[in-house]
Each structure stands twice: as C-alpha cells, then as structure tokens.
Structure 1
C-alpha cells in the first residue's frame, strides 16, 4: 500500500489531503463549541454542523460537470484558496449577533469543497493508473482519514481550550493554503479537452453533460445497485451517528469526553482497516467484499449499542473501522475502474450526492425516532438497516465487476509525470 507513495504526484496530493483534512477536523470540534459559547443555544450549535450538508445536495451535480470540464489541478488549487478565504471570515466573529457569519463561512467552505472532492477523485486514476495501484491509493487515503480522525478531534479540542477559537481558524485556513501550494507543484497536466459543440448554448451543453453522467451511472452494470446499497448503509450509519451523543449521556451516563475516546477508538480501527482493505481487494470480488463488510458492520453495530458498557464500547468501536474501510474503499475503486476519465467527476459527484442525501435522511430519521420510540430501539433499527444493506448487496450481479478492467495498465513512473498522448501532462487532482 505504501508503495504508491513512490509516485511523486500522488504523494503531493496525499500530503495535501492530510493537511487540509487535519485542519477540517480541528475546526469541526472548535466551531460548534464556539457557537455554543456565544449563543448558549443547542439549536444554533446543531445548525453549525448541518450547514455543511446542504451544499452537497444542491451543488454536487453541478460541481461534477465542471470537475470534468475544467483542469482538475487548477480546480483544486482555486478551491483551496477560496476555502481558505471562507474559513478566514470566521476571524471577525466576536459577538452573538455575528454568528450568522460562521454559517455563511461553513456553507461557502462546503460549497467549494463540492468542486474539490470530485476533481480529486477523478485525478487519482490519472496519477496512479487503474490497476493495483488504484486500490493501494484508495487504501492509503483511508489510512490518512483514520489518522486524521484519531488525532484531529482531540487536538482541535485541546487547541480550542488552550488558545481559543481564532488560532484554530487560522490553522485551518493555513492548511488550505499549504494544500494549494502542494498541488501547484504537481507536474501532471490534462490531455486535450473534448471539442465543444459551437451550436449548443451553455445551458444545453451543461444539461447534455449532466445527462451523460447520469446515463453512465444508470447503464454501468452493478453501479446502480452499488449506489443503492451505499444509500441504505449511509441512512443506518447516519441514524446511529445522530443518536451517539444522547446514547452516551442517557444510556451510558458518561461525560462528554467519552465521545472523543470513542472517535479515537474508531480512528484506530480505520488505521487497521486501511492495509486490510488492500489485502482483501486482492483476494475477493467487489460483490463478496461488499456483502461481507456490511454484514460484519451490522453485527458489530448491534453488539456495540446493546452492550451499554463504556469499556466494551471502546473495544467494539475499534472493530467498526476495518469493515467500514473495506466497504468504502471498494466502492471508490469500483467507481473509478468502471468510469472513463472524462465522466469520473460527474460519477463521483453523483455518489457524493447519494451519500449526502442518505446521511441527511438518516440523521433526521434517527433524531425523530429516537424521540418517539427511544434511543435503544432506534439504534437497533439503524443497525438492522446496515444489515439490510448487506442483504441488498446480494443483488449485485455476478460476472459484471470491473475488478479486472485496466488492471494491466501500467502505473506512472515514480519519478516522472504521467503524460497524455498529445505530449501534455494529463489532468490531475
């Protein structure tokens, strides 16, 4: 898995992911606490968390079209700079009447991220190829996410307590600037763009490109089923997430610090799951991995939230990470291998929109049902939904997996840029 870091351009992109993700996690902890301190309102605090969900639903499909149309490297650099500016807006907030600026900043940051994320996902196959190195790159991305999740939350909380909100905001903005600098140094350049139809209006051209992305997702064998499986999983997972704090307070009767410990345990599981996902991908098909990982997750969730003991929950939270990483990496790799480069931004955005919509539905349903029928019953229903996603995965057709597509494609040389057929470096993240 670590061998993929020999590819210079991918190494730069991975470093940018580490820096910007770490900054995000610092702010993820600090911003809600800062809003709560200014307003004393739990509703206002919840709005700070929800502010980043809406852009994925409204902007995601649009962003995917432009991620495929624009130079992906330039898109990432531009959005990093814009995200740094959006985050810096929070530095002027000092009074309760200015809290709305935090919401504006969070929505703007999330909106720009909708352009960054598909550009990044679409760039990775161009940097590492679509064979074994693609799975290694996705596994390493999961390793980075696990590391950030393990240390980001505790560091963010500690920084907020030690130095206040403004320095945390400054660190997050600086992480975006550092990410932009790293991506600027990437040597990869796009191949020649598709010729544009002069007769088409901008709106008709956009609609046509959007339809092409939808048509690809709908017509690719197994991809619609995999999206459905993922949607069911994210609904159940989000419902559990929405009830995690009430579960800690009313079921475990534990302090708020327990949440940080559980997230740290989850991060340990993600770290263990990254190399495991690489090994599993080399031995089993997408269908088998999806069924097995989701069935395991359903069982672990059921055990975790029926134990009602902090020590056992900490141990069980570490077991959530490996099957979760295996599933998420498998979907990302399947999507990249089954999608041509010129459609990958749109396909990635479609997946992101499915994830955002399912997450929003799951959180709302979890919160509402937890109030009506109880936290424990709702969490068991959510765990059942995750198990149902494993059952749905049996509908993935056999023999239509792109697991072997392009696996003979050579990866880029570690020390040289991967160039297109026209002599220019290909587009990248």
Structure 2
C-alpha cells in the first residue's frame, strides 16, 4: 500500500492539476459555495430588515439544517443505492429552481414564503453533501484522501471568506435581487461540471435494480446503524460533528453582532448598508479562520490516526476559547481575530473527523455513514441556533449568549479528551 502523501501547497496543486474528476468536483464547489455565501448575507440581512427579530434568524437557520437530520438516513440509503453523480446533478438543478423563488419575496408580509423554500432547498442539500463526501475516495487514491479533504474544507472556508466579503459588497452596491440571481446561476454551472465527471461507482456493482420506493426501505438504513454501532471508535467519531454543531448559535449571533455592535459605517452608508458590511466582515473572519485551521493542521497530522484525534481535541478547545473571549470584546479587529481563531479550531475538527471516517469505513456503507453523521450535526446546529435567537428576543444579553456558547462547546472538548484520545 502506498504511504501517505505529504501535505503541502504542492500536493494540493498536483491533485487539482492531475486529477480531472476531482478538479471538476472542486470547481463546482468553488462556484456553488461562493454563490451560497452571497445569498446567505443577503437573506439574513433581508430577514433582519423586514422583522428585526433574532428569533427569525434562528428559525431560518433551523430550516436550513434540520431537514438534513430528518432526511439524513433516507439520503444515505439513496446515495448507497443510486448513482451519486446523478444525485448531485439532480439536486443542483432542483436548488436552481427553489432559490429562484426567493426573488418573489418583496415585503414583510411575504417573509413566510422563505420558510418552505428553505426547507425544500435543505432537503436537496442533505442529499447532495453525503454524495459529494462519498465520491471523494472514488475519484482520488487512498493516500490522497486527506489532501482532497483538506482542499475541500479549505475551499469551503475560502468561499465563505470571499463569498461573505464580496456578498456584502454585492448586496450594498448591486442590490439584493442581483445577488440572489448570481447564486441561482451557480447551481447550473455546478450541475454541468459534475455531469462531466467520469469515474467508477463500486457501490453499484452487484446491486439489483433499485426502485425509488426502495429508498424508504428502512432495512439498509438499520444495517448502516448496526455497522456504526459495532465499532466504538467509529461511533464516537460520527458524533464529533454533533459536538461541533453546538456552535450553531454563531449563525444567529454574527448577524446581530454585525448589526448592533460592529456595523461598518462609510460615507453615504445607511444603517442597513452599515449592518450588511458589518455582517459580511464577521462572516469573512469566520471563513478566513476556517481556511487557516486545516491548512496549518493537515501537514502536521497527515494520516496519522493519533494526531488526527489529538487535533480534534485542540480544535474543540480553540473553538470554545474564541467564544469566551468574544463575549468580552468591544473592538472590531480584536473580535475578528477571536473569530478567526475559534473557527480555525472548528474547521480542524470538521476535516480531521471526516478524514478519520473515510479511512475507517467501507465504501458500500459510506453514504449511510456520512448521512448519519450529518444528521447528528444538524440536530445540534438547529437546537443551538434556535435557542440563541429565542434567548436574545427575550432579553438575555448578547455577551451572555456568547459566553454560554463557549461553555457548551467545552462539553464535547472534555468528552473527546476522555473518550476520543484513548489508545486502541
């Protein structure tokens, strides 16, 4: 078996240059996710403008993540019994149609329309993401798995950094409608790129003809759960992202911070434009941190199981500490640094846990494995984001919610230290 690839900028470039399939998957990710962050900044600013309530942000975020938990097990069965490439193309086209409908929301009385649209769009994402994670080991060699995961995670983070920064600029200068239209078009580009990929899908070999109604057959799903439960190491690793999901309050807290504490005023900026700029800056800091974490951590960890597990421990600690510090900060540039540090830790947790699962799992179970992992994560994301919005609208101080977020993230840090770092 080949040894693990040394992780560096050279290895990233080699993978993208030499692997056509991964290159197309990566470009699709760049295009689609950058558009998503354009859309997120515009959407959250629109909801705050129309309602002024933090709880509405919490509800919107719940609808962007909770359906993933509800559809996760079925998504796993679908991705283990149908072509994962076709699943990705179908969901991209569906999201093009769904997000286009957001353009019809013109006033506070129509805000209710966003809720079913977000729900359906998230169901499609819940099908897409396990498919994308599952095909990576099919389009790269085993020794390149962590390189591919680091590229993907760093790309997500850079996309967040660029998308949030440019999305704020676009929303301020080009207007909300054009910003959302740009996002809509990215789904078509992504679908075209993925449709052009050519690779083997081993999980389809030997399968009998599968009908759509078989997707709601719970026997394969239960097989997947049994597969995870039989391996304690795998079970604890599947639950890592659920621990990281406890930072979901940030999706409510950052728009409020950008609007109330760190707005960016420039000549000619209205209050709404200053709030948009403030939200964009905070989200960009999050993206920058998420890019730096794996880029710095992966060369050290490589595919060493012990280091990957220890990196998760340090990542949880950095994430919790960042929120504790942010609770007492009133200077924008210090807040940006704290967010960068916190989300560098979060991204390390995300990438290292994904790599561990990919290295530990069999291909035929991988779709259900990542769907179960995503479902666990989205439950905690939804719960903490809604709780944060609910608390803020009922008078709990913003710095108190920030500090409590750090305390909650410290729980999986302690648990992983007790369980995840045990020697085999």
TM-score normalized by the length of structure 1: 0.83
Structure 2 vs 1, CA of residues 12 and 366 (structure 1 numbering), >3 Å: closer, same or farther?
same
Alignment check: 8 A CA contact 2:80 2:203 kept = no
**Which deviates more, 221-230 or 249-258?**
249-258
Structure 2 vs 1, CA of residues 62 and 161 (structure 1 numbering), >3 Å: closer, same or farther?
same
Structure 2 vs 1, CA of residues 215 and 228 (structure 1 numbering), >3 Å: closer, same or farther?
same
Residue 323 of structure 2 aligns with which residue? 301
Q: Kindly provide the CA deviation profile for residues 259-295 of structure 1, in whole angstroms up to 9, marking residues without a partner as x.
A: 3222222222223223213212226533211112212
Q: 1:267 aligns with which of 264, 287, 302?
A: 287
Give the CA deviation at 1:312. 1.6
Structure 2 vs 1, CA of residues 211 and 263 (structure 1 numbering), >3 Å: closer, same or farther?
same
Q: 2:68 aligns with which of 36, 56, 60?
A: 56
Report the Cα distance in structure 2 between the residues aligned to 1:110 and 1:243, rounded to whole angstroms. 21
Residue 198 of structure 2 aligns with which residue? 187
Determine whether 1:85 maps to 2:97: yes
Alignment check: 8 A CA contact 2:57 2:252 kept = no
Give the CA deviation at 1:82. 1.1
Give the CA deviation at 1:233. 3.3
**Structure with the largest fraction of helix:** 2
Q: Kindly provide the CA deviation profile for residues 123-170 of structure 1, in whole angstroms up to 9, marking residues without a partner as x.
A: 001111333x11111111122112111111232232233333332232
Give the secondary-structure state (helix, strand or coil) at the position aligned to 1:378.
helix
Give the secondary-structure state (helix, strand or coil) at the position aligned to 1:302.
helix
Report the Cα distance in structure 1 between the residues aligned to 2:78 and 2:215, rounded to whole angstroms. 14
Alignment check: 8 A CA contact 1:229 1:390 kept = no
Q: 2:237 aligns with which of 205, 226, 229?
A: 226
Report the Cα distance in structure 1 between the residues aligned to 2:120 and 2:180, rounded to whole angstroms. 15
Residue 416 of structure 1 aligns with which residue? none
Residue 315 of structure 1 aligns with which residue? 337
Alignment check: 8 A CA contact 2:133 2:370 kept = yes
Report the Cα distance in structure 2 between the residues aligned to 1:96 and 1:245, rounded to whole angstroms. 18
Alignment check: 8 A CA contact 1:139 1:277 kept = no
Structure 2 matches for 1:19-418, cutoff 5 A? 19-35=31-47, 39-40=50-51, 42=53, 47-94=59-106, 98-131=110-143, 133-191=144-202, 193=204, 195=206, 206-235=217-246, 237-247=247-257, 256=275, 257-282=277-302, 284-369=306-391, 371=394, 374-394=397-417, 395-396=419-420, 398-400=422-424
Count of aligned positions: 397
Alignment check: 8 A CA contact 1:51 1:106 kept = yes
Residue 4 of structure 2 aligns with which residue? none
Give the CA deviation at 1:245. 4.3
Alignment check: 8 A CA contact 1:138 1:333 kept = yes
Give the CA deviation at 1:346. 0.8
Mark the runs of 5 or more structure 1 residues left unpaired by the alignment. 401-429
Give the secondary-structure state (helix, strand or coil) at the position aligned to 1:307.
coil
Residue 10 of structure 1 aligns with which residue? 22
Report the Cα distance in structure 2 between the residues aligned to 1:296 and 1:36, rounded to whole angstroms. 30
**Which deviates more, 70-79 or 186-195?**
186-195
Report the Cα distance in structure 1 between the residues aligned to 2:31 and 2:258, rounded to whole angstroms. 30
Alignment check: 8 A CA contact 1:32 1:46 kept = no
Give the secondary-structure state (helix, strand or coil) at the position aligned to 1:188.
coil
Structure 2 vs 1, CA of residues 181 and 203 (structure 1 numbering), >3 Å: closer, same or farther?
closer
Mark the runs of 5 or more structure 2 residues left unpaired by the alignment. 1-10, 265-273
Structure 2 vs 1, CA of residues 90 and 217 (structure 1 numbering), >3 Å: closer, same or farther?
same
- Root-mean-square deviation (CA, aligned residues, Å) is 2.9
Alignment check: 8 A CA contact 1:147 1:271 kept = yes
Give the CA deviation at 1:47. 4.2
